[in-house]
């Protein structure tokens, strides 16, 4: 009984220990789960912190670059200095504008008034250099005042009455044979010195245009509202007229090529070709021997054509070279006038010269030899 009771007690303790062990296992699982969650949270936090550190490093790097860029001066563009000014009044304005542009594009090189005046002094020659010398020798206060120096410089070499000069040039300005865009550029340049309103400027601009451009501007139903619109319309009309002239030239050239291609070629030496009869009521065929000169005939060819009573120009029968239908008309007229002026001395003596006056056929056996020799003389 004692053993049984002890065994029951041990069994009870064993069950209690097993229950306690189960509780410990459950607690261990809970702790493992919490640890895993904590580990994941710590990993996420670490990743976020690394990303923030990287962003801060990038921002710091960009700020350092910006700071270095602020401290280093920007690179100035390379600009060629203007040509030296010799006092020519018509070149004064362009020279002064170029000097101002150089100073504007190189502010670190010419930051003070004395450096800017010195720049102008290095670009003077001839009369202007002699004018600048007293300022430098006497150490004039104008050397430290760029605006005052420019006023003195303009009073000596600039146009003192620029408005009147610009108005006179504007009234004489015409488009002529140049494009409307070039005329508009000169017009704009002169209007910068003239205190006229838009209406007066538009009227003067239209007055200087070419007549064909004015005629095409009449197709616009509304008047332009500004000088810019008037210039745009004129340039557009001038471009259309230029395109139309180009089309006409191409059409004329194409027709000339077609006419040249349709002309009958010149017969070769030794070939006989009958003259083309004139077709009344229709177009007359043309020959292009005037465009392509034939070479000189050999003596054998001349003798053959004379023996066969052929034309010395085209080789055709029934006529002589003076009346050849394949010969340019202007040349025929010149040769006929030459015949009238030729010496009356006979070229070939014949036994019976009276036959020449009794026959009217130029290809008669008695006349052909003399006329052929006369043709040969005229062809040479």
How would DSSP label each residue in 125-153? -THHHHHHHHHHHTT-GGGG-HHHHHHHH
pLDDT band, very low/low/confident/very high, at 181 (cuts 50, 70, 90): very high
Structure confidence by residue, pLDDT tens digits, 25-81: 888 888 888 888 888 888 888 888 888 888 888 888 888 777 665 555 567 778 888
| CA distance to 266, 337, 373, per residue, from 325 (Å) | 12, 18, 19
Structure tokens at 106: 């190189």
Number of helices and strands in the chain (H, E): 14, 0
Give the span between the Cα atoms of 31 and 50, in whole angstroms.
28
Is residue 162 over pLDDT 90?
no
Among 102-111, 115-124, 174-183, 333-342, which stretch is predicted with the lowest mean pLDDT?
Answer: 333-342
Structure confidence by residue, pLDDT tens digits, 65-95: 776 655 555 677 788 888 999 988 888 888 9
Is residue 353 over pLDDT 80?
no
Evaluate whether 238 touches 177 at the Cβ level (below 8 Å).
no
User: Is pLDDT larger for residue 99 or for residue 6?
Assistant: 99
Mean predicted confidence (pLDDT) in 282-310 = 65
What's phi and psi for 124, nearest 5 deg? -105, 150
Q: What is the pLDDT of residue 217?
A: 92
- Residue 41 pairs with which residues in a beta bridge? none
- Average per-residue pLDDT in the chain? 77
Q: What angle is formed at CA 242 by the lines to CA 236 and CA 243, rounded to 5 degrees?
A: 90
Q: What is the pLDDT of residue 344?
A: 42
Closest CA to 169 of 194, 206, 138: 194
Helix axes 227-261, 198-207, angle to 10 degrees: 20
Is residue 332 over pLDDT 60?
no
């Amino acid at each position: 009984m004692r053993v049984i009771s002890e065994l029951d007690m041990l069994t009870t303790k064993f069950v209690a220990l097993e229950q306690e062990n189960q509780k410990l296992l459950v607690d261990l699982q809970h702790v493992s789960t919490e640890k895993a969650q904590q580990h994941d949270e710590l990993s996420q936090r670490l990743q976020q912190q690394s990303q923030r550190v990287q962003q801060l490093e990038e921002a710091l790097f960009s700020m350092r670059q910006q700071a270095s860029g602020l401290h280093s001066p920007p690179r100035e563009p390379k600009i060629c200095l203007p040509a030296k000014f010799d006092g020519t009044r018509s070149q004064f304005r362009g020279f002064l504008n170029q000097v101002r542009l150089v100073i504007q594009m190189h502010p670190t090189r010419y930051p003070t008034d004395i450096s800017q005046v010195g720049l102008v002094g290095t670009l003077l020659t001839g009369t202007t250099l002699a004018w600048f010398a007293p300022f430098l020798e006497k150490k004039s206060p104008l050397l430290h005042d760029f605006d005052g120096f420019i006023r003195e410089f303009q009073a000596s070499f600039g146009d003192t009455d620029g408005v009147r000069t610009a108005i006179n040039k504007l009234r004489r300005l015409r488009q002529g044979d140049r494009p409307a865009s070039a005329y508009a550029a000169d017009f704009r340049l002169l209007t910068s010195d003239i205190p006229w309103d838009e209406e007066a400027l538009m009227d003067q601009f239209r007055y200087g245009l070419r007549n064909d451009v004015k005629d095409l501007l009449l197709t616009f139903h509304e008047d332009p509202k500004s000088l810019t619109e008037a210039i745009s319309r004129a340039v557009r009309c001038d471009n259309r007229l230029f395109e139309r002239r180009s089309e006409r030239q191409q059409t004329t050239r194409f027709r000339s090529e077609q006419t040249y291609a349709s002309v009958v070629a010149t017969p070769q030496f030794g070939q006989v070709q009958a003259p083309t009869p004139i077709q009344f009521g229709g177009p007359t065929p043309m020959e292009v021997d005037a465009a392509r000169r034939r070479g000189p005939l050999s003596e054998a060819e001349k003798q053959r054509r004379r023996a066969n009573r052929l034309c010395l120009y085209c080789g055709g029968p029934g006529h002589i070279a003076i009346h050849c239908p394949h010969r340019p008309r202007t040349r025929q007229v010149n040769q006929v006038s030459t015949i009238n002026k030729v010496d009356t001395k006979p070229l070939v003596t014949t036994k019976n010269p009276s036959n020449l006056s009794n026959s009217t056929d130029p290809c008669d056996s008695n006349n052909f030899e003399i006329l052929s020799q006369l043709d040969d003389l005229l062809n040479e």
